[in-house]
Amino acid sequence: MTNDDKQNDRQDVALSDARQLAAQCWCDEETKHIEMDITLAEAFARRLDALMETYRMQLAGISTAALGYWKESDSIHPDYDTVALRDVAKLYAKYDALYRASLSQVLRGWNFDRLASGAILISAPSLGHSARVVDVKSRTEGDRLLFVLADALLGTEQPDWIAAAETPNGDQA
């Protein structure tokens, strides 16, 4: 099945749902005495389907912003631009900044160095912690977790917000 076929199937399901909603209008207590007009119901279903598609796209945009993949400075089609989308993007940016600031405080004074073997040397001499080597094969769950964290922090380059963190004695981390 091609992507176009899947898209058409989704559209057919959405329109089918809209048709069911339109038909249910003639089942309501105040409208059950009116004979159902199929042409009117179909016209209503098409409009309802278009509206539901817009709402689905708006919710998808909000979800994307909540995950941090869409920023307020990014462009978006006017039909999908909502106050909620902008609010979620602002909220994500606020909490992301707070997280980065708090993480840089937690990591202040810690050093992470990748060794040739792939293991990571973690040390914090200014905090009184001796050096410790961790890797994927570390014996304890805590050491393996430390390795995953340090590996993510190091990546291929140390992120600016870690490199810029100052240690208590004024040195760079």
- Structure tokens that stand for 126 in this block: 């200014």
Print the domain residue range for 146: 107-163
| Cα–Cα distance, 110 to 168 (Å, whole number) | 11
- Structure tokens that stand for 167 in this block: 């240690």
Length of the chain: 173
Beta bridge partners of 133: 121
How many domains does the chain fold into? 2
Q: Are residues 81 and 144 in the same domain?
A: no
- Structure tokens that stand for 52 in this block: 């539901």
The answer to whether 161 and 100 are in contact (CB under 8 A) is: yes
For 15, residues 6+ apart whose C-beta sits below 8 A from its C-beta are: 45, 46, 49
Which pLDDT value is given to residue 129?
72
Q: Is residue 102 assigned to a domain?
A: no
Q: Are residues 84 and 10 in the same domain?
A: yes
Q: Are residues 81 and 147 in the same domain?
A: no
Q: Are residues 67 and 121 in the same domain?
A: no
| Cα–Cα distance, 130 to 122 (Å, whole number) | 8
Q: Is residue 31 assigned to a domain?
A: yes
Which pLDDT value is given to residue 155?
62
Q: Is residue 170 assigned to a domain?
A: no
DSSP line for 34-61: SPP-HHHHHHHHHHHHHHHHHHHHHHHH
Final residue of a structural domain among 48, 69, 92: 92
Which pLDDT value is given to residue 156?
46
- 157 φψ region: left (φ > 0), alpha (ψ -120 to 50), beta (else): beta
Final residue of a structural domain among 30, 59, 92: 92
Which pLDDT value is given to residue 75?
86
Q: Are residues 16 and 86 in the same domain?
A: yes
Distance of CA 167 to the CA centre of its chain: 32
Q: Are residues 76 and 122 in the same domain?
A: no
Q: Is residue 101 assigned to a domain?
A: no
DSSP assignment letter at 35: P
Looking up tokens 């978006």 gives: 76
Q: Are residues 148 and 68 in the same domain?
A: no
Q: Are residues 84 and 15 in the same domain?
A: yes
Q: From the first residue on, what is the mean pLDDT of each consecutive set of 10 residues in the chain (173 residues)?
A: 64 83 90 91 91 87 84 83 89 84 73 80 76 75 74 57 43 43
